[in-house]
Amino acid sequence: MKKLLLAIACVATFSASAQKFPGLALTPPMGWNSWNKFAGNINEALIRQTADAMATNGMLAAGYNYIVVDDCWEAMDRDQLGNIVADPKKFPSGMKALGDYLHAKGFKFGLHNCAGTKTCAGFPGGRGHEFQDALTYASWGVDFLKYDWCEHGTANSQETYKTMRDGLATAGRPIVFSLCEWGDTQPWLWARDIGHLWRTTGDIYNCFDCVFDHGTWKSFGVLQILDMQDGLREYAGPGHWNDPDMLEVGNGMPVNEERAHFSMWCLLAAPLITGNDMNHMSAETREILTNPEAIAVDQDALGIQGFKYSTNNNVEIWFKPLAGGSWAMCILNRNQEAKNVSFDWAGEKVTDNFAKRAANFSTTTYTLRDLWIKKETGTTKEVLSAKIPGHDVLLLRLDRK
């Protein structure tokens, strides 16, 4: 009897731990990550200054609460017991102290590591140390783990990420698990029970419409990444998001492109992880990143990713169903030059079979609110006519009248 109870207890403990933490990331995570702007040039002063800036410049108040330290925080070697350690020069106070600092300011603490033997920048990866590292991260107060895919050799992606999921569950601290597998083995098909978000593509590049060839790999502009999201919306939802990579807003694109990039990430219900310098941010960039009405589209409680409704002359019209019967609509002008757009609601019916929602404009009237100028601009009773500048958007919210 005793043995039987013990066996039942073991099975119960194991099955309880072998799942991702539930109830996390019910809306797409928001925050900041060091990689896009700083790459390997990171240290504890930068991370603290970033937190100080975000606590006072409106970013934390707007919802950006995860601060994620990406690659290059580690020492080149594990310690004698195989524990992962932070670079003592870059992070002399240690990661626990950094986590405490962030938590005291109201942030959550994120770290990067890799499922392979080494990170992409050559630091120790997690392979073979998953449970040990999970305990270390939990002891440092980590709340978010971005787990990369460099140097994975012949490892099976699903099994590898499952191992780390189980490590995190066993360590017992609720940690958002962010799979950074670049879409190589279609994580949207298998990661729903493993992580809370998964990258769908290779790395973003800081341009609106380009592909950057690094020789052995490529990174992609905003439009290229957008196009790669095709067909993936049905895999995302509360607690399990498609991740089209971090934002490049504030890293040098002109303001119209920043606005279009941000709007489309909101339409995609993408994680909003900023990647710019929080201590040198223009007023225009700050306005974009902290626009509460655009963020509300991204963070909508339904958690449904938007879809492309039509394409005409390289101008796309996207819709995203929102809670309460509302919709977001984004008209994206992919051309360099401005385009006149006319949309006659009476003849249009927007049907979303996945969300099981339809908007029939001949029977229901919606008010239109322009989310960038933050004004009501009419209703669906009149034909919508707009001139949309090149590489820009018109982002609207439709509420039933």
- Residues with catalytic roles: 148, 203
CB 177, min distance to ligand GLA, A? 15
Residue span binding ligand GLA (CB under 6 A) among the ranges 115-123, 151-159, 188-196, 282-290: 115-123
Which of 44, 71, 257, 277: binder of ligand GLA (CB under 6 A)? 71
Applying the rule CB under 6 A, the residues between 194 and 223 that interact with ligand GLA are 203
Looking at the Cβ atoms of 136 and 201, the one nearer to ligand GLA is 201
Which has the closest alpha carbon to 128: 141, 139, 115? 115
Assigned token pair, 116: 């392979």
CB 70, min distance to ligand GLA, A? 5
Contact between 179 and ligand GLA (CB under 6 A)?
no
Alpha helical stretches, state H, 208-338: 222-227, 255-267, 283-289, 292-298
Which of 44, 70, 133, 243: binder of ligand GLA (CB under 6 A)? 70
3-state secondary structure of 266: helix
Applying the rule CB under 6 A, the residues between 84 and 113 that interact with ligand GLA are 112
Which of 46, 68, 120, 145: binder of ligand GLA (CB under 6 A)? 120
Which has the closest alpha carbon to 179: 231, 114, 127, 88? 114
Looking at the Cβ atoms of 123 and 318, the one nearer to ligand GLA is 123
Site string for ligand GLA, 16-35 (x = CB under 6 A): -------------------x
Give the E-state strand segments of 157-280 in sequence order: 176-179, 197-199, 211-213, 218-220, 241-243, 272-274
Q: How far apart are CA 285 and CA 166, in angstroms?
A: 39
CB 138, min distance to ligand GLA, A? 21
Site string for ligand GLA, 133-152 (x = CB under 6 A): ---------------x----
CB 348, min distance to ligand GLA, A? 38
Give the E-state strand segments of 63-202 in sequence order: 66-69, 108-114, 144-148, 176-179, 197-199
Which of 67, 145, 176, 180: binder of ligand GLA (CB under 6 A)? 180
CB 184, min distance to ligand GLA, A? 11
CB 268, min distance to ligand GLA, A? 17
Sign of CA dihedral 133, 134, 139, 143: positive
Assigned token pair, 120: 């992409």
Q: CA 151: distance to chain centroid?
A: 23
Residues 6+ apart with CB under 8 A from 221: 204, 205, 207, 208, 209, 210, 211, 212
Which of 121, 210, 255, 315: binder of ligand GLA (CB under 6 A)? 121
Q: How far apart are CA 282 and CA 294, in angstroms?
A: 18
Residues in touch with ligand GLA (CB under 6 A)? 35, 70-71, 112, 119-121, 148, 180, 203
